[in-house]
Amino acid sequence: MDQTGALDALLQEERVFRPLPQLVIEANINPHQLEQAQRRAEQDPLAYWEDAAHELDWFKKWDRVLDDSNPPFYRWFPGARCNIVYNALDRHIETANKNKLALIWEGEPGDQRKYTYYELYREVNRFANALRTLGVAKGDRVVLYMPILPETAIAMLAVAKLGAIHSMVYGGFSAKVLRERVADAQAKVVITADGFYRNGRIINLKALVDEALAGAGAECVETCVVVHRVNVDTEMHEPRDLWYDDLVRQERPVCATEVMEATDPLFLLYSSGATGKPKGIVHAHGGYMVGIARTLDWVFDIKPTDIFWCTADAGWITGHSYVIYGPLVAGTTTVMYEGHPLYPQADRLWDVVARFGVTILYTSPTLVRMLMRFGVQYPRKKDLSTLRLLGSVGEPMNPEAWVWLYKYIGRSECPIMDTWWQTETGMFMISPLPISLLKPGSVNKPLPGIEADVVDAHGNPVPPGKGGFLVLKRPWPAMMTTIYKDPERYKKSYWEKIPGVYYAGDVARRDEDGYYWIQGRADDVMNIAGHRIGTAEVESALVAHRCVAEAAVIGIPDKIKGEVAKAFLVLHDGWQKEFETAEDLVAALRAHVRRELGPVAVVKSIEFRESLPHTRSGKIMRRILRAEELGQDAGDTSALEDPD
Ligand code: PRX
């Protein structure tokens, strides 16, 4: 059968995909244990999470597992003292993990660096000492604007080791976005690199940092630490800017790990919401480490010999939880790759898998769809036989991409863990385990200890097969603790839309077998290649352009990226004086959005209108534009009255 014929046959399959018997026998959690865990978690969820907490090291154990006296400000493991870095590094130095590879890094040009746990521990200690010399202490905010480098992991861990709070800003965001986040966090230090390699080019990151720090709001920054990665002329502003190498050279490789309350913040990560102002999602040391350790161990079935590669950028939650903290807490080997997945050609991913013997590959539907286009000749030329588990995250996985990944990358032997979760949840929430029966396109069922539901706008469960809002009905350890400096917004955005439950902002349905299918966002948040961008953010970038009077942005389906932005604009009179043709204006507007927000916000098309549809109170009705644009019914959404 040719490639398409085989795919067609599989796509018509209505059966579920079963794990191979050998895999079930060897899984960390077998079906019997899963059933037991589920029963225990249903009867006594706190005891279930307490068991998970006992698997980690604490300086002092908790007074109680959960303080729920002031919902929705749940406090996990109050009274306990810990530091996630102790679990990610320090404790491994006392065990056989000491000389095991913690981190394998590959640069786009092909250069490599590898760190054992002991080496990584020493590097983190040296940089932590350097940061302490710079005055960084418990509770201070440090912003990281970094490409994928070993120093990115080192910097995160060093900041956390001191009890300071890191806030990563994805390198695909603009200088302006960086400045806003630095200002909101009132960061004392910014850590960056001179540049990095991407698709054969050098991206000069430091220039963007200079632009960001020159603007109003960024005066809080005392020091900018620059990692040397590429050979470019880099302007260093004295006394603010310091080279990473100069800083760590004199430092000792020993550094005490700060003793933190379990509820103390570990990091802030800004994420887009339905308004133009991103939310600083806060995660704390104790609950977060318990949540990610348990879920990584169960879902990805970590074995001592694994080489774990999650292709996410460290600037997103997936990078935090499952490139850096999760794998290191688990004592496994994590892989980081700096560059573009198609550089120098479409086999780079498969090449990395083959050379390092990657056993678990966790990636995104966009990447799979992108690589599918190049056909199977690329993966066929590489030895992918070390792979034993695959994973997907960030956006709905269409069955066609699922089956391609399963068949051509996973040899029809490696189960795909399609994990549903969010920046806010910190950890996997709905996901299969390796022993689960899989349905392509479904994220399977809630993990033990997680109670999810699909409900209408009033919180009533909807019948199987019907679309509704995805909600979570019980707190979980790695949950966000609040929105930085805005607890009211935390309450309102997540816990009051549908009273008493956590509102995820996703539309989902559950089938007769209890399997969840994520259909997309329920709010005005786009998911462009798995990256969350608010329509309001793109709109405010557009109206900042002098020719634009009014803007409405919607997400429209895209074959590769899942979704892209389309803008409807009302122009000010007189734009023709500045631009000869409408095409010139469109090009200028695209460049403008890129400058305002960064390359991550892809505006695929722009349409000019005389006016936009409004509600009586003056809100733009994006819903009408979307319905018009798609010319179709968005599925069964009868349960979806806007809860606002
Ligand atoms: O819409 C869901 C989608 O990504 C959103 C969360 O985005 P973010 O906070 O950036 O975190 C992404 C990585 C965890 C969700 O509200 N999403 C995430 N995972 C899936 C998904 N949609 C479908 N299937 C998934 N597996």
* pLDDT tens for each residue of 162-182: 999 999 999 999 999 999 999
The residue to mutate among 430, 445, 506, 509, having the most atoms of ligand 1 within 8 angstroms of its beta carbon, is: 506
Give distance in angstroms: CA of 529 to centre of ligand 1.
11
The residue to mutate among 168, 368, 447, 527, having the most atoms of ligand 1 within 8 angstroms of its beta carbon, is: 527
pLDDT in tens, 265-323: 999 999 988 888 889 999 999 999 999 999 999 999 999 999 999 999 999 999 999 99
Percent of the chain past pLDDT 90, that is, above it, reads 91
Q: How far apart are CA 475 and CA 532, in angstroms?
A: 23
**pLDDT bracket for residue 5 (50, 70, 90):** low
Task: Write out the two tokens for 582.
Answer: 């409408």
Task: Write out the two tokens for 486.
Answer: 């805005």
Radius of gyration of the chain (CA): 24
Give distance in angstroms: CA of 176 to centre of ligand 1.
25
The answer as to whether 381 is a domain residue is yes
Give distance in angstroms: CA of 88 to centre of ligand 1.
25
Give distance in angstroms: CA of 420 to centre of ligand 1.
6
Q: Is the dihedral of CA 320, 326, 328, 329 positive or negative?
A: positive
pLDDT in tens, 10-69: 555 567 899 999 999 999 999 999 999 999 999 999 999 999 999 999 999 999 999 999
Would you say how long the chain is, in residues?
Answer: 644
Contact of 428 with 31, CB cutoff 8 Å: no
The answer as to whether 429 is a domain residue is yes
Buried-state track 248-273, b at ≥16 Cβ within 10 A, e below 16: beebebebebbebbbbbbbbbbbbbb
pLDDT the model gives residue 633: 55
pLDDT the model gives residue 618: 83
Contact of 172 with 185, CB cutoff 8 Å: no
CATH number for position 47: 3.40.50.12780
Overall number of domains in the chain: 1
pLDDT in tens, 242-257: 999 999 999 999 999 9
Which positions ≥6 away from 476 have C-beta within 8 Å? 49, 291, 425, 427, 429, 449, 450
State which ligand 1 atom lies nearest to the alpha carbon of 531. Answer: 10
More confident residue, 12 or 220: 220
Give distance in angstroms: CA of 617 to centre of ligand 1.
31
pLDDT the model gives residue 112: 98
- How is residue 169 annotated by DSSP? -
Ligand 1 atom 22: the closest Cα is on which residue?
395
Q: Where are the alpha helices (DSSP H) in 45-116?
A: 45-54, 84-88
Task: Write out the two tokens for 10.
Answer: 């599989």
**pLDDT bracket for residue 643 (50, 70, 90):** very low
Ligand 1 atom 24: the closest Cα is on which residue?
396
The residue to mutate among 271, 292, 368, 422, having the most atoms of ligand 1 within 8 angstroms of its beta carbon, is: 422
State which ligand 1 atom lies nearest to the alpha carbon of 316. Answer: 10
Helix/strand/coil for 18: coil
Give distance in angstroms: CA of 586 to centre of ligand 1.
30
Q: Of 360, 356, 304, which Cα lies nearest the Cα of 330?
A: 304
Residue whose pair of structure tokens reads 């050279």 in the numeric block? 249
pLDDT the model gives residue 9: 60
Give distance in angstroms: CA of 516 to centre of ligand 1.
13
pLDDT the model gives residue 1: 43
Q: How far apart are CA 324 and CA 310, in angstroms?
A: 9
Contact of 212 with 178, CB cutoff 8 Å: yes
The answer as to whether 230 is a domain residue is yes
pLDDT in tens, 577-624: 999 999 999 999 999 999 999 999 989 999 999 999 988 888 888 888
Give distance in angstroms: CA of 53 to centre of ligand 1.
26
Domain, as residue range, for 363: 21-438
The answer as to whether 287 is a domain residue is yes
Average the pLDDT over 410-418 and give the result. Answer: 97
Contact of 503 with 511, CB cutoff 8 Å: no
Q: Where is average pLDDT lowest: 29-33, 118-122, 226-230, 272-276?
A: 272-276
pLDDT the model gives residue 364: 97
**pLDDT bracket for residue 8 (50, 70, 90):** low
Ligand 1 atom 6: the closest Cα is on which residue?
422
State which ligand 1 atom lies nearest to the alpha carbon of 521. Answer: 1
Give distance in angstroms: CA of 556 to centre of ligand 1.
17
Task: Write out the two tokens for 361.
Answer: 């590959």
The answer as to whether 172 is a domain residue is yes
The answer as to whether 644 is a domain residue is no
The answer as to whether 222 is a domain residue is yes
pLDDT the model gives residue 632: 62
Angle between helices 150-161 and 117-133 (to 10 degrees): 60
Give distance in angstroms: CA of 430 to centre of ligand 1.
11
- Residue 64's identity, in one-letter code, is R
Ramachandran angles phi, psi of 598, nearest 5°: 110, 165
Average the pLDDT over 129-135 and give the result. Answer: 98
Tell me whether the omega of the peptide bond preceding residue 72 falls within 30 degrees of 0, making it cis: yes
pLDDT in tens, 621-639: 888 899 889 886 544 444 5
pLDDT the model gives residue 10: 58
Distances (CA, A) of 594 to 206, 383, 541: 17, 39, 9
pLDDT in tens, 484-524: 999 999 999 999 999 999 999 999 999 999 999 999 999 88
Which positions ≥6 away from 460 have C-beta within 8 Å? none
Ligand 1 is surrounded, with C-beta below 6 A, by: 271, 316-318, 393-396, 418-423, 443, 504-506, 518, 521, 527, 532
Ramachandran angles phi, psi of 118, nearest 5°: -65, -45
The answer as to whether 557 is a domain residue is no
pLDDT the model gives residue 274: 80
